[in-house]
Chain A
């Protein structure tokens, strides 16, 4: 008999270094893709800005679903809270765009606090039902409070002042798009730090096994609630961006449909990587745009077919698929 295992020390190289390298590359890729969109589709900047606003929401959804393991079908409540907070502030004379984004973040965070406090009382399916109930309540509240929100007509007449007092929000949406892109990149970098902090690791642990986390001496509820607040702030910024760029806030921004679509985008792109949220949003909304212009009647069928294909071929989402390709490429290269 031979001794099989040679003694090997610390097999994998320090992966934190490689991780940082990959994240820098990832951020550069996002910026490149964003600028490419700007040059390639100058006539569709309004749509692209909408994609960025929704991407912020899907990113924030990834924090809850992908990192904490809490399924929610009510995430538009946070997006809408930010949109209405920024919209109402703008109509009432606060027109500075950055301030409006901050107001949106605060509005979303407050909604996240409320939603988290309620949802975290339940687990599993009841929790999912609660999330739907909450977004419906938010929707109804926005509908009824028409004096402030414009009700079903929507809140219109938002006139944000020029960014930094210089860049007007023009008809073609150039300012709004570039502003949104910078905001997205900034938020993405901050979130990368958040998910790799001790707090982020704790959330990943909670996602896998709450009993184990408690046996480590950590309370679960405050950690998850904190993540809900962070997620709310991010979704709220997305809402505020949508409000500023379209200059309207409609009831659809607090709808169940938007919540469900956001979850579909996240699953499409892949959970728990942040990249998946971006990939999923771009593909879903791009696909929706292209297919609905080709066939306005059956585009939903096509979206459904795409979703089924992705879920069957790449259960971990599209970003999981690329990871797998890279992994197999490395394995082949190594041999």
Chain B
């Protein structure tokens, strides 16, 4: 299979503490991968390493055949390696429309222009409305983000990521903090992601993981301990031990 994205032996230690150990992973275009693991397993650290927020102690990140390990976060985004945040990072005084417009302009290299209008470009406006429509945000497009529901803010995070036309999308707990009544909307949005996009999702909601992912990777204590199909995860002894500690063994004995 033609791989789009690969990490090789990614390692990060803070002092003596290794938070990521020798993680290797590859994703083809169109991949739907879920990265799960107990709290403190190093999932968000992994996303930070991949997207360049922090520098790895060792290992490589390869996108589309190019080694991007030495590139900063901004350049990786421009190459198509895009993330969302576990806790929403949005501008509370701006509207969803403004967020996505700014992102589209930025992608086209027009966001730092002074002698230009922010609104009024109809191709940009059409694209923005297409994105907001796809994520069901048209109703709140012109409300300040601080005033819209948290679930809608999570959707806006995804809209911003999509506006960058990513090749690889890393979703850091897209449903975190969303009331269960709103999770179906997130799930719907995830189903509608462009088919060619490679998606890695960190998530704790196992129902969402099982419905979304074609492949699951389990991280524990900074290491990959399992890689395989979703239905195999629950049966795996190592995974049970990582999640449940000694209780897993106790139960299997009983």
* A211 & B89 in contact (Cβ 8 Å cutoff): yes
* B111 & A198 in contact (Cβ 8 Å cutoff): yes
Contacts A197-B114, A217-B74, A218-B111 given; indicate if A10 touches B98 (C-beta within 8 A).
no
Q: Is the interface of B mostly helix, strand, loop or mixed?
A: loop
Q: Measured between C-beta atoms, what is the minimum distance from B89 to chain A in Å?
A: 4
* A7 & B102 in contact (Cβ 8 Å cutoff): no
Q: Measured between C-beta atoms, what is the minimum distance from B81 to chain A in Å?
A: 10
The answer, yes or no, to whether B139 is at the interface (CB within 8 Å) is yes
Q: Number of A interface residues, CB 8 Å?
A: 33
* B91 & A197 in contact (Cβ 8 Å cutoff): no
* Chain B 99-119 near chain A by CB (<8 Å), digits 1 or 0: 001110111001111111111
* B141 & A10 in contact (Cβ 8 Å cutoff): yes
* A215 & B85 in contact (Cβ 8 Å cutoff): yes
The answer, yes or no, to whether B164 is at the interface (CB within 8 Å) is yes
Q: Measured between C-beta atoms, what is the minimum distance from A13 to chain B in Å?
A: 8
Contacts A197-B116, A218-B74 given; indicate if A202 touches B106 (C-beta within 8 A).
yes
* B91 & A208 in contact (Cβ 8 Å cutoff): yes
Alpha-carbon distance A279/B31, docked complex (angstroms): 56
Best-surrounded residue of A7, A197, A223 (most CB of chain B within 10 A): A197
* A198 & B74 in contact (Cβ 8 Å cutoff): no
Alpha-carbon distance A114/B23, docked complex (angstroms): 44
| Interfacial residues of chain B within 54-89, with CB under 8 A of chain A in the complex | 73-74, 77-78, 82-83, 85, 89
Q: Tell me which of A9, A15, A193, A196 contacts B139 (CB under 8 A).
A: A9
* A222 & B112 in contact (Cβ 8 Å cutoff): yes
* B139 & A201 in contact (Cβ 8 Å cutoff): no
* B93 & A199 in contact (Cβ 8 Å cutoff): no
The answer, yes or no, to whether B206 is at the interface (CB within 8 Å) is no
* B139 & A197 in contact (Cβ 8 Å cutoff): no
* A215 & B73 in contact (Cβ 8 Å cutoff): yes
Best-surrounded residue of A8, A204, A212 (most CB of chain B within 10 A): A212
| Interfacial residues of chain B within 136-155, with CB under 8 A of chain A in the complex | 138-143
Alpha-carbon distance A216/B164, docked complex (angstroms): 7
Alpha-carbon distance A200/B93, docked complex (angstroms): 14
- Which residue on B lies nearest to A190, using beta carbons? B114
Q: Measured between C-beta atoms, what is the minimum distance from B44 to chain A in Å?
A: 13
Measured between beta carbons, the chain A residues less than 8 angstroms from B94 are 201, 204-205
* A16 & B119 in contact (Cβ 8 Å cutoff): yes
Q: Sample 25 A-B pairs with CB under 8 A, ordered by A number.
A: A8-B139, A10-B142, A11-B139, A12-B143, A16-B120, A197-B115, A198-B105, A198-B112, A198-B118, A199-B111, A199-B112, A199-B114, A201-B118, A202-B111, A209-B90, A211-B53, A214-B74, A214-B77, A215-B89, A216-B106, A216-B164, A217-B164, A218-B74, A218-B111, A226-B112
